[in-house]
Every structure is written in structure tokens, then in C-alpha cells.
Amino acid sequence: MVKIDRDEVLLDIGFKSEGVIPARELSIRNDVHPEEIVTLGEHIEALVLQKEDKEGRLVLSKKRAQYERAWSTIEKLKDADEVVKGPVIEVVKGGLIVDIGLRGFLPASLVELRRVRELQPYVGRVIEAKIIELDRNRNNVVLSRRAWLEEAQKEQRGDFLANLKPGERRRGVVSSVVNFGAFVDLGGMDGLVHVSELSWKHVDHPSSVVQVGDEIDVEVLDVDLDKERISLSLKATQTDPWQEFADSHEVGQLVYGRITKLVPFGAFVQVGDGIEGLVHISEMAVHHVDLPEQVVSPGEELWVKIIDIDLQRRRISLSIKQAAEGGEVSEEYREAFGEHAYDEEGNYIGTYEYADSEFTPETEAQAAWADYVVENPGAVAPEATPHGVNPVSGPAPDPGSAPDPAPASESASAPEPAPVAGSLADEPEAPAAPAPPAEPAPVAEGVADVVGSAAAQTDEPSSVD
């Protein structure tokens, strides 16, 4: 190399005149100054493009000479399934250009194990990649760094999978969110948390539960060594709300709930966070009900009795009709009254005077009791109440003086019943003419004393022990 200008360089080739290499023929890189490619006195290899130009000089190309040498080397590497190495020289649409003696194209999707959004930081980095496509006629070379990374990590992945056991809990980072779930990087491989394993609640889209970059704890459900797939669960690391409800509630207890949906066969009632039970239409009232909306409406809050809990099927059967007969309230509602309001067996023995003290409800259940007592100060009897009788009900009415049942047409617009009624089931309308006293209807255990007292007031004999 004897001379370097901005547009060309001169090369002494021992000919009658110097050979000239135009700047564009110096390198496969674009828009670089000749001084960045060659230096004075350097010996280089060049390919003759033209024997003489108009000035009688040989026109040479360093780039073409390098290109010819590179093709021969690359073809050998491709046949041997070897790796090529070179610096990233340019970012183009869809990927990177790597200098491997010629311009090798590295698609963006094959730069890393996961697709990379920002490619500019790779410029200047020397990377290794596999040749996945080679076409000399079209001057086309396609590279894959991901293939090299996968091969390099194959042995590591095998060890990683072998040490991963179902039931094990790991901490990972959410790497991507898709419609069917979320992928979590466990520090070596990605596992999938299917949308059904994201939460105990219904999930419309995984993005409503996790976001890319979130650190979460997951449980390993399954490891497929052949397909190298890991199935994970996020909800397995959380408390099952159904199990929690079943552990803290019993059949026969009263709970406070909100009507969420009406269906032809009954109404669904939310009785806990993400927990819904069904009140069958036959359990809505003591009288015949044609449509659920005749008794309740969506959004209405009321007391219901638990009549069955099927944890395996995630089903809770509830009853409005049986709640009206009274019963033992579940433990969380006792807290609203205070421990002093119940005996050791959980029977209600007194009321808590909300109006005379400062009380801040901590749960929805406490608020439900507090609101009712404040709005109905005379509804809670101060004296002890027998076990099984609703704590917010008044004295039992005279069985012989039950009001006439409302017409069916008026049932839909009837006033909303009290949250828990303490009265007995409606009696049929009394006949106009005097008649011998009818045998009292069977009464739920726990209200016998109240029924006996009511019967004594009417001077009628009672058949209840």
C-alpha cells in the first residue's frame, strides 16, 4: 500500500504502474473511510477487476479477493457443521449483518434464544453463529446464533431438566405472555404456566394476572425430557380458596352473601372471595316459586344457610328458605358481635351494642351485621336466645296468628325479606268457622322452646317435647 486517498488507494504490484482500488472495493462495510481499512506499507491481497482504466492503471478489488477466499472457507465450514465468527457491522431491516469475510445475514429472530427487540447494541460485538443457508449464485448467507446457543446449552439443559422434579417450587421471571398462558424463565430454561394454572379464579387473559418481568414463585407440574418442556403452576403456590372455605365452614351454618346471577333453576350467591354457591329454586321460599326473580334480584345481599359442600366438584348448595328457620352463624360473623356474645358451643347469648361504642368493621361480614343492627336497633333481643334461633330475630309469632300468604302476583314486588328471618314457616290461612286445633307442624331442632312458649300463649296443647 503506497498511497491512501479519500476515494481510492494505490497499490504497488510490481507492474509498470500502480494498481488502484476504489474506496467501494476496499471492504464489505458501507460508508467507511479507507484509512479505517488499510494502512501505508501494508501488504494486502486484491483481485484484478480491469486490466487498464482510461489512465492505464489496473483496477483492483480487495473486497472481491476477500469474498472469493471467504466463500471457499465458508463452504468447508458449512459442510463440517462448524461455527463462523465475526463482528456485527450493520443493523438492517429484519436483522444484523455479520462480517465473516462476506456479508452474512443474521435474522432478528435467530439472534438469541428469544426474539430481541433492540438490535443496535449488537453492533461491534464479535459473535459466533451457525450457517443455516448458503447460496453462492444468489450471494446469500443466512446465519443463526440461536442454533449455536441451543447447541452450547444442550448439555446444560439436560442437566437442568434432570434436576427438576415435579412438586418442586422455583422462583422465576415472566419472559413472555401469550393468549394461552405465560412463559417463565427458571434460570436456564423457560417453563409454561397455562392460563388454567395462573389463578384459582377465572382468568380472561393471562396479562390480567402477570406481566413480562414479574418475579413469581411457581410449582413444577411436569417435566418432559424428550420434548424438553416444563409445565408450571402459579395457583399451586397459593391457598385454594375453596379448601379454605370448606375448612372454616360447616353444613348448617348461616353465611351472608350477594346474589350474582339468576338462572332458571335458581340463583348464584357469592359467599366468599371467588366463592359462589347455588340456591336451588326449591330452596328459595316455603311457597312454590316459578321464577327466581320473584324472590331475589341480582346484587341483593341476604342470609343463606349452607346445606352441602362438595369440595371436589367445587359446589356449594345454599338455602334461603332454611336460613329463615335460623341456625348457627359461621365463625367470621361471630366476630362482628364479639366473643362475649356466644357461649363455648357457639350459641348466641347476647348482643353487642354498636350504637354505644366505636366499632370499625374489618370484614364484609362484620359490616353486614353492623349495618343491620344500627338500622334495626330493636331487632336484636337483649336476652339470651336458644341455640339454633337467628340472633337478629324477635320473639316467635303465635302459630295461630300467621298472616295470610300474599298472592302470587304480588310476590315479585314484595318487600325484601330481612337478612335472616326467625319466624317459622308460613301457616295456611285460618278457616272462617271454628275448628279443632291442628297438630303443630314439625319444628327445627333448637326452636322448640320458642314454639312451646307460643303455644302456651294460645292456651292450646303443644305436642313438642
Write out the three cell numbers for 142.
443466512
Domain ranges in the chain?
3-65, 81-149, 164-237, 240-437
DSSP lists the bridge partners of residue 182 as: 177, 193
What is the model's pLDDT at position 231? 92
pLDDT tier, 462 (very low <50, low <70, confident <90, very high otherwise): very low
How is 369-414 classified by DSSP, letter by letter?
HHHHHHH-TTSS-SS---TTS-TT--SPPPGGGPPPPPPHHHHTTS
Select the more confidently predicted residue: 221 or 375: 221
CATH code linked to domain 81-149: 2.40.50.140
Entry pTM: 0.40
- Highest average pLDDT, of 51-65, 142-156, 248-262, comes from 248-262
pLDDT tens, position by position, 342-371: 556 655 544 444 444 455 655 554 565 556
What is the model's pLDDT at position 397? 37
Checking if the pLDDT of 175 tops 60, the result is yes
Same fold, 81-149 and 240-437: yes
pLDDT tier, 268 (very low <50, low <70, confident <90, very high otherwise): very high
Checking if the pLDDT of 22 tops 60, the result is yes
Q: How far apart are CA 26 and CA 100, in angstroms?
A: 15
Please state which of the four CATH numbers 1.10.8.870, 3.40.1160.10, 2.40.50.140, 3.30.450.40 is assigned to the domain occupying 164-237: 2.40.50.140
Write out the three cell numbers for 115.
426474539
Q: Residue 207 in 3-state DSSP?
A: helix
- Over residues 288-317, the mean pLDDT reads 90
pLDDT tens, position by position, 386-402: 334 344 433 333 333 33
What is the model's pLDDT at position 463? 38
How is 432-446 classified by DSSP, letter by letter?
SS--PPPPPPP--TT
Starting from the edge strand earliest in sequence, which strands make up the sheet with 47-50, in order?
A: 3-4, 8-11, 19-22, 58-61, 47-50
Checking if the pLDDT of 43 tops 50, the result is yes
- Over residues 169-178, the mean pLDDT reads 91
Q: How far apart are CA 290 and CA 282, in angstroms?
A: 9
What is the model's pLDDT at position 417? 41
DSSP lists the bridge partners of residue 302 as: 257
What is the model's pLDDT at position 37? 82
CA-nearest of 219, 217, 212 to 233 is 219
Domain 240-437 = CATH 3.40.640.10: no
Mean pLDDT of the chain: 74
Q: Are 83 and 148 in contact (CB under 8 A)?
A: yes
Calculate the CA dihedral of residues 124, 126, 128, 132 and round it to 10 degrees. Answer: 30
